[in-house]
Amino acid sequence: MGVGTLISAEEYLRTSYHPDCHYVDGEVIERNVGQKNHSYAQTRIAAWFVQRIEALRLEPFTELRAQVRPHRFRVPDVLVSGMPSREEQVFTSPPCLCIEIVSPDDTISSLQDVLDDYLAFGVPNVWVIDPWKHRGWAISAAGWATATDGIMPTSDGRVALPLAEVLPPRLIHNPS
């Protein structure tokens, strides 16, 4: 859903949004964030990469804008770049990995639009992680591949992130 009238890319880049928004062909598009499970997963995923920064030579960034087309900016929940990372404040070339963390208000249609932009931009690894259902998917032009073993791999085998290490604990139902 848009939050205003059409604006230029330059105006979008000069403006701060809380939380940050996508920018698609002149329209500012809200992102669904702000719930504990989303925040927990986002923080833990970034921390998982930080703990392995020297071994993997990959650096995570949360909510960093990426210019996926001339008039289109996306804000991945976690963007992972090879090291050394670029000097630019907004990514203009594909990072190693873009991660979207599902929020309850996300729709498959709007999420797929974002994922399609990452793939068209040339991002080699695109993940979707659902902190409520404890599931993850690797996204490619061929479709969504479920991480059936609970491990999120990159296509080159460099990364194998165990979902159990980064997702909130499952609640135990204790009937009384």
Q: Which domains does the chain have, with CATH numbers?
A: 33-165 (3.90.1570.10)
Which pLDDT does position 24 carry in this prediction?
A: 81
d(CA 14, CA 103): 27
pTM recorded for the entire structure: 0.84
What's the burial of 124, exposed, middle or buried (CB within 10 Å: 0-12/13-18/19+)? Answer: middle
Give the pLDDT mean for 16-41.
79
* Residue 147 CA neighbour count, 13 Å, CB half: 23
- DSSP element (H, E) containing 44: helix 36-51
DSSP state of 111: H
pLDDT exceeds cutoff 50 at 127: yes
**Is it the case that residue 2 has pLDDT exceeding 50?**
no
Q: Is the pLDDT of residue 40 over 90?
A: yes
In angstroms, the Cα distances linking 68 to 15, 82, 125, 127 are 18, 17, 14, 16
**For residue 35, pLDDT beyond 80:** yes
Q: Which two tokens stand for residue 75?
A: 């804000």
DSSP label at residue 76: -
Which amino acid belongs to residue 5?
T
pLDDT for the residue numbered 85: 84
**pLDDT tens track for 104-122:** 888 899 999 999 999 999 9
User: What are phi and psi for residue 139, nearest 5 degrees?
Assistant: -105, 135
Report the Cα–Cα distance between both ends of the chain, in Å, rounded: 42
